[in-house]
Amino acid sequence: DAGVIQSPRHEVTEMGQEVTLRCKPISGHDYLFWYRQTMMRGLELLIYFNNNVPIDDSGMPEDRFSAKMPNASFSTLKIQPSEPRDSAVYFCASRPGQGMADTQYFGPGTRLTVL
């Protein structure tokens, strides 16, 4: 298995532009998570899905952020409009469905820079 795939790996954009981050989870995993990592705040959970349904989006910072999972093999995280404070590394992770204690498998991340 190729593991969790994220694209792009790096994104540089200007303030006000729309940014779309993409994730392909490991096949057969029922859960998908979006995290944001910064030096100051560490790794923060933004939203997670179970069987393509958003379960908890309480970590989404504001209405500028949205996430979708149209099918079991694809998810997007969109920021519109982007701001410099959104600069961070965004990780997608997936997990089998047996139980919450199960291991999460992380993608390589997308490094976002908003100028």
Partner 1 sequence: SQKIEQNSEALNIQEGKTATLTCNYTNYSPAYLQWYRQDPGRGPVFLLLIRENEKEKRKERLKVTFDTTLKQSLFHITASQPADSATYLCAPPSHTDKLIFGTGTRLQVFP
Interface with partner 1 (CB under 8 A): 4, 35, 41-45, 48, 56, 91, 93, 100-101, 103-109
Backbone angles phi, psi at 20, to 5 degrees: -125, 120
Q: Which is nearer to partner 1, 10 or 80 (CB)?
A: 10
Neighbours of 90 (CB within 10 A): 22
Backbone angles phi, psi at 98, to 5 degrees: -65, -40
The alpha helices in 1-115, defined as continuous H runs, are: none
Q: How far is the CB of 92 from partner 1 (least distance, A)?
A: 8
Neighbours of 50 (CB within 10 A): 14
Kind of pairing between the strands at 105-106 and 88-95: antiparallel
Q: Which is nearer to partner 1, 9 or 14 (CB)?
A: 9
Q: Which is nearer to partner 1, 45 or 72 (CB)?
A: 45
Q: How far is the CB of 10 from partner 1 (least distance, A)?
A: 10
Q: How far is the CB of 55 from partner 1 (least distance, A)?
A: 9
